[in-house]
Amino acid sequence: MTENKYSHLTAIERETISFPAKYLLKNELLKGDILDFGCGFGKDVEVLTKKGFSIKGFDPHYFPTYPQKKFDTIFCFYVLNVLFKESQEAVIMAISRLLKPKGRAYFAVRRDLKTVGFRKHYIHKKNTYQCLVNLPFKSIYLDEFCEIYEYRLYNQGKNNDNRCIFCNPYAKLTLLTESSFAYAILDGYPLSKGHSLIIPKIHEENYFNLSFEIQTHCWQMVNEVKNIITEKYNPDGFNIGFNVDKAGGQKVHHTHIHLIPRYLGDNQGKKHGIRCVIPPP
C-alpha cells in the first residue's frame, strides 16, 4: 500500500478544542466510551477528559498504543485529507472494527483546500500530501472550511428498498470489517472455520459489471479479511473466488467474493483446489 510518509507532519499543536469536537460536544453526540482515532498531539482528548468524558486517543505517530476494545463513539478529524485512497479505506476499515454495533463514528474533512497533491509544508519544509475527500455517509455539517459525516455500521439501518439480503443484512450479524464501498461477514453456511464473504454495497448481480474502482476496493478488503481470519484461525491455506451466473453456481443475485480458509487434512483425495471445481471426465 502506498503511504504518505509525512502525513503526521500536518498535526497541529492547538491550545483549544478543535471545531469538529466542539460541534459534537454542543450537539450531545459524544456518548459512552469515546476514541479519537488519529488524535495528533491529543488536545481534544485532553480537553474532553477534563470535562469528564471517558475518552482515549490513538495516533500511529504520537500515541501508538492500539485500542484493544470497542467504542460507542469514534471520531476521526482531518486525517483522511492527508492520505492516499487506499490508506483512507484502511482507516475506515479499522474504525469499523473498533465501533460497537450501535455506535456512531464521525469523520471531519477539510473543505478549504485550494490545491490537491503534494506541497511543501510551511513549518516542516517536507512535501506533504493533501486531497479532497467525499464520503458516502450521512453529512451532518458543512461550511466552506469543514464537512462532518456520521457513520454507523452497514447492518444497522435500511440501505435499499429491494429485498436483497446483502443490501440489508441482519442487524444481529457481526461485520468483520467495512469500508466506503464494501463490507465483510462470516458465511452463514461455512465450508470451513472462518469462511467469509466480501460484499460490495452496490447492488449488482454480475461481478464483471462492477466498476474497476469497486472491484479494487473489494480486493483490498479481501487482503484485510485474510489478515483477520489468519489471526483468529491460523489456517494453512485459502481458496478465493466468486460465482457468476447460474452455470457458475451463483445463487444469490448480489455479487460476493468467497474467502475460504483451508486446513491440512480437510481435502478429499489427492486432487484439490480451484482446478478441481469441475470434476474430471
Q: Residue 215: enclosing H or E segment and its boundaries?
A: helix 212-233
Q: How far is residue 141's CA from residue 150's CA, in Å, rounded to a whole number?
A: 9
Give the E-state strand segments of the chain in sequence order: 34-37, 55-58, 71-77, 99-110, 117-120, 127-130, 138-142, 146-151, 175-178, 182-186, 196-200, 237-241, 257-262
Residue 217 a catalytic site member: no
Cα distances from 23 to residues 28, 132, 171, in angstroms, run 9, 21, 29
Instruction: Write the CB contacts of 243 (distance below 8 Å, at least 6 apart in sequence).
Output: 249, 250, 251
From 8, 203, 217, 256, active-site residue: 256
- The cell numbers describing 17, all together, are 478544542
- The cell numbers describing 201, all together, are 454495497
Q: Which residues are catalytic?
A: 256
